[in-house]
Amino acid sequence: MRARLLLVPLTGILFLGAGLVVAVGQPPVTPAPLPPTVIPAAPAYLPPSVIGRPGGPITPVSATKPAVPIERFEKNLRSFPAETVQCVQSTRTAAAWLVRRNQSDGRFLGGLNPALARPLEGLNDLNQAYACWGVCRAAKFTGDDKLAACGAQAVLTLLTLTKVDSGDANCRTPILESAKCNRVGLAAILILCIHDLPAPDLKLIAEGEKLAVFLKKQLRTDGSVQYSDGAEPASKADPDGTNFYPGLCFQALLASDRAKSEPWKRDALIAGMKHYREWFKSHAHPALAGSMLPAACEQYLRTKTATVAEFACEMADHLCGCQYTAGETRELRTIGGFRIPGQTEPGSDGAALAEALACATTLAAQVPDATRYGKYRSAGVAALGFARGLQFTEDSTAHFEKSFRAQYLLGGVCGSHTNGNVRADQTALLALAQIRFLESGAEKSE
């Protein structure tokens, strides 16, 4: 996927180690403070250790916590295949890395050049949104109170990057223009963050619905999504954007509809699947398949619409055709990665495509289609294995100073085998993909 989607300067003063301070440029826009009605009381799952952070006093955690998804794995890891065990362990370390990168203002250190011990510049707020999304989903999956506290705080921080529309009190709009940080992408991921929290506050859900109203205004009668600002067609203003933002928009609308079902959301999904299936026939792209597949698969599981299942399989088959396999490459480290137009080598952003294949595996099991199930599962396992190969471990960081390695590297994910910069968004993509795999039904042996 395109690195430029996540590009804009980091802000503030960053401490990278003993005696090392790096000043980074100020942001182009100062986020507006949230009104008191938006800032909810801290939810009950926050631990006592976070008293004093924004959100006010909290309710003590119940002595008996409900079961969480990760427990069924960690109670007896040996009963699962090796790739599943690796996913569980890798997800834990990725989530821990993201929490360590979270700062007192709720924002994440977006990226780091380990060789220079310097933060990466040029990362925009989509980088922050992806990091938040990874933490929120990991919090729900693991039941970890620290992750839940971090995710809730990061969501509140992201909400300051939006404002209530002056002409519509029921609409919340991202502040920055899409040229600096795509507004549809930011609004969509923020909605997904809210609904992936373990127990989102009702006020947060209400703000998510206001963001959904913003997305509603971007929908066109032909089923497409206007993801750029102004009257110019989105396909001309940002030709590659159609591969990312419409899929995120539909994923967000599905999450919103689970919380508050409304006819317009369902109508948008029906029209959108029809429009983008036709678009995909002549503009097939792995990134489009990666962002649209999760929405298409969930839409099929809800409605059992045959044409939606066909569209999902067309996209999944395309992804399989873009994947490096053992039979076509002598370079073992590329196996499982994806050929993406414009990229000279496979990168960690392919984790989003692995997540899409996990969704397709679930769909194939429900259709049912045993042949496609095996095909998609094998491709997804290989894709996750490739992405995990870009995650920093004890072995791959042995040449770094011990405390620096533990604080800044372990669990983080770099861009590719020739790009060692570790980034919050790419680390989050791996966590998101692995959790999706672990909940897909594909985590069991074939």
272-289: average pLDDT: 98
- CA–CA separation, 284 vs 156, rounded Å? 36
Percent of the chain whose predicted confidence (pLDDT) is above 70: 85
User: Span 299-303, mean pLDDT?
Assistant: 97
Whether the per-residue pLDDT at 13 is higher than 80: the answer is no
Using one digit for the tens of pLDDT, what is the confidence trace for 148-161?
999 999 999 999 99
Residue 20 has pLDDT above 60, yes or no: no
Q: What percent of the chain has pLDDT over 90?
A: 80
pLDDT of residue 444: 87
Rounded to an integer, the average pLDDT of 76-99 is 96
Query: What tens digit of pLDDT does each residue of 43-84 get?
Result: 433 343 333 344 444 444 445 667 899 999 999 999 999 999
* Region at 46 (left for phi over 0; alpha for psi -120 to 50; beta for the rest): beta
Alpha-helical runs (H) found in 166-201? 183-196
The pLDDT of residue 329 is 65
CA atoms of 204 and 81, how far apart (whole Å) = 38
d(CA 40, CA 60): 16
Sequence length of the chain is 446
How confident is residue 333, by pLDDT bands cut at 50, 70 and 90? confident
Query: How does DSSP classify residue 77?
Result: G
Calpha distance 437→84 (Å, rounded) = 8
Give per-residue pLDDT as tens, 32-41. Answer: 555 444 444 4
* CA 140/CA 237 separation, integer angstroms: 37
Which 3 state secondary structure label does DSSP give 64? coil
Structure tokens at 97: 């890395």
* Residue environment code for 71-101, b if the CB has 16+ CB neighbours within 10 A, otherwise e: eebeeeeeebeebbbbbbebbbbbbbbbbbb
Give the residue among 272, 271, 382, 362 at the shortest CA–CA distance from 319. Answer: 382
* Average pLDDT of the residues in 294-303: 98
For the full predicted model, state whether its pTM sits above 0.95: no
Model confidence pLDDT, tens digit, residues 353-395: 999 999 999 999 999 999 999 999 999 999 999 999 999 999 9
Give the tens place of pLDDT for each residue, 213-250.
999 999 999 999 999 998 777 767 788 999 999 999 99
Confidence check: pLDDT of 23 > 70: no
Model confidence band, residue 446 (pLDDT cutoffs 50, 70, 90): low
pLDDT at 282 over 80: yes
Domains and CATH numbers, the chain: 3-55+82-438 (1.50.10.10)
Mean per-residue pLDDT of the chain: 88
Q: Token pair of 351, please?
A: 């984790």
Indicate whether 26 pLDDT > 60.
no
pLDDT at 64: 62
Q: Are 127 and 111 in contact (CB under 8 A)?
A: yes
